Structure 1
Amino acid sequence: MKRIKVLGSGCRNCEITAKVISQAAAEAGIEIELEKVTDIAEIMGYGVMSTPGVVVDGVVVHSGGVPGPELARAWVQG
């Protein structure tokens, strides 16, 4: 099971990012564990300076904007 974290303050773009990832997983029929991380110290620990950030299985794969559906599909399927 993929473990995916959305890093951010809980802003609109962070919420949209989480929704895009959840939808991509549902469409692919893949179960994921999705966590929203709002703790600034934890976000900085990943080296993310611009949110939303996305971490897949411990690796930062995106930061600084809402990812497109194709990118989210690649994360959940990859």
Structure 2
Amino acid sequence: MYPVKRCTGCRRQVITPTERKILVLVAQGSTNVRIAQTLGLSPNTVSSHRSRVMRKLGLRTPGELRQFAQGYLRTQGIEHA
């Protein structure tokens, strides 16, 4: 779907459990503030997690992140809004 930029010698980029939870909420259309309330985090922390996921996956826009998140949920058999 989206190419992931890889470099030789780089550590493997793994999505953390918190990043996965945020992906689920992004796919459902939640805002950073709503995600923060749901997970008990600050909106700035959520923003940092989203940015980190986008960087790991080579995504450039929030729309690409949401599209990826929705596809990810489909492959995991998780329903989203």
Normalising by structure 1, we get a TM-score of 0.31
Larger Cα-atom Rg: 2
More strand by share: 1
Q: TM-score, normalised by structure 2?
A: 0.31
